[in-house]
Amino acid sequence: MYRIYLMGQSAGAHISFCALLEQAIKESRGGESILWSISQIKAYFGLSGGIMEGEESFEKFSPELKIKDPSIRDAISLLPPIILFHGTSDYSIPSHASKTFADVLRRLGASAELVLYYGKTHTDLFLQDPLRGGKDELFDHIISVIHADDKEALAKDAMAPPRERLVPELLLKMARYISPF
């Protein structure tokens, strides 16, 4: 059993999903040599992702449009569970992009979940929240998915001490070990 998870943020979410979809298309058509299989990916996490812009490339590189193509319907069933995370105060890529994408995925039969974080911006979830320390909702959610079938890991997670604030206290501690003075 593979325990590989694929995750991307912003443009990385877009690119990683495109790679996942292309692999699913290859596998659904058969006959092509493949180096890895969709079945190896336990879940896909897309964080603050968007769709491709630009009219000349839109249909080819927009996952939302590409998955609607009837010729690749068999590929959709091969996709792993998809979990999209988005902050509702994201002005770089509005959260409605993830909502629309999740709706289309579900309508086509994919397992897709959308988790919205109210008041969070494009970078709060993976940058500012961990730097602030304390509760890190995104990290906790991802770990709960990864450890969902592992009772021992879940028990350890429940007993884990709170994470330290990354800045400035922890950086000062680290600087003492690095500095030659």
Question: Taking a C-beta distance cutoff of 8 angstroms, is the pair 41, 80 a contact?
Answer: yes
Does 77 qualify as catalytic in the annotation? no
Among residues 48, 68, 18, 52, which one has the least CA distance to residue 115? 48
Catalytic residue among 10, 62, 95, 98: 10
| Catalytic pick among 122, 124, 129, 136 | 122
**CB count in 10 Å sphere of residue 103:** 13
What 166-169 contacts at long range (C-beta under 8 Å, 24+ apart), as own/partner pairs, is 166/130, 166/131, 166/132, 166/133, 167/131
Is 10 one of the catalytic residues? yes
Catalytically annotated residue among 86, 90, 95, 124: 90
Length of the chain measured in residues: 181
State the catalytic residues.
10, 90, 122
